[in-house]
Amino acid sequence: MTTGGHCGTLTAAGLGLPAAAIVPEAKSRLPKAMFVGKSAAQAGAAAGVNVRKSLANDVTDIVFLGLLTQKSLVGAVAAPVAAGPRVPEIMVLGLRLAAGVADVPASVVELIAGQRKSGIVFAVVRDAIEDDSPDAPAAKSGAGADNVAEEAALVVRRAMPSRPGHPPVFEIFATPFRPVGNVALYLHDDAPTIDELWNAICAQVALGDDAVLDDDLVDNHYADVDKRIVAARQRTALEATVEKLAADHRRAKSQDKRNELFAKLQKAKKELAALQ
């Protein structure tokens, strides 16, 4: 039996990849050098230096965990998935962060994802951030340390809508870091093509598990993903506005100021309700 690759303690099988999509361990390790050559051309000379530094210092391993294609998905989902005209395949790459690195290396994600037409899901693995509570278990630190507690986040780079005639704007989205055993990639049965499967995965990462797992929230997990991302951002901004206006209203001294803030608060609440 062929053993799949692993990034720290995160395995391809543990991530939920179908057996046919898993890259054998012997072929899974990717040298950093294969991504370095294009860094300066993509980011500009000065920025390229920073990208190379991040790749050298922040990431210890790049692991090719799996490849989702029309063929490798056969039997993994209920209905056959057709090839997509925009996204021919979806790579799953593991990035193991160096000891002491806690954040997703956005420049490295941008560098690697920008070199391929295929969609890429990054599983970024780091040492668990220690809990300061007195009851928290102690964990060894350092990439590769025995029995080290690890966390992982799923990350994607997605082209967002731009004005007509302008190049697409790419943005990076990431889930929160969670214990490795709680991180999985959901492959939805209702995606008819690789394009829609990519949209569904982006929805999982950008919008959160609830938007993916609760069928009452969305009819199709791959539908209107960009619009839902924009709406989620609007909700977050309006929630902050409502909270601030409510606090300002409570502190206001004059009745005229209270009336003004109350009117603004009610307007913001109505706009927020319309987005729910």
Query: Which residue stretches of the chain are H helix?
Result: 12-15, 33-36, 39-43, 45-58, 106-113, 194-207, 209-213, 225-251, 255-275
- What's the pLDDT tens digit per position in 37-57? 654 455 455 457 888 889 999
148, 98 Cβ separation under 8 angstroms = no
Query: Which residue stretches of 99-167 are H helix?
Result: 106-113
Whole-angstrom Cα distance, residue 28 to residue 4?
8
What single DSSP character describes residue 214?
-
- φ, ψ of residue 156 in degrees (nearest 5): -135, 155
Q: What is the pTM of this model?
A: 0.78
Burial zone of 151 (CB within 10 Å; 0-12 exposed, 13-18 middle, 19+ buried):
buried
How would residue 273 be classed by pLDDT, with cut points 50, 70 and 90?
confident
- What's the pLDDT tens digit per position in 166-202? 888 888 999 999 999 999 998 876 778 888 888 889 8
- What's the pLDDT tens digit per position in 226-268? 788 877 888 888 999 999 999 999 999 999 998 999 999 999 8
Whole-angstrom Cα distance, residue 61 to residue 46?
24
First to last CA, the chain: 49
The predicted pLDDT at position 207 comes to 86
72, 18 Cβ separation under 8 angstroms = yes
What whole-number percentage of the chain has pLDDT above 90?
A: 43
Comparing 95-99, 106-110, 190-194, 198-202, the range with the smallest average pLDDT is 190-194
- Amino acid at position 99, single letter: A
The predicted pLDDT at position 138 comes to 44
pLDDT at 120 over 80: yes
Whole-angstrom Cα distance, residue 185 to residue 95?
15
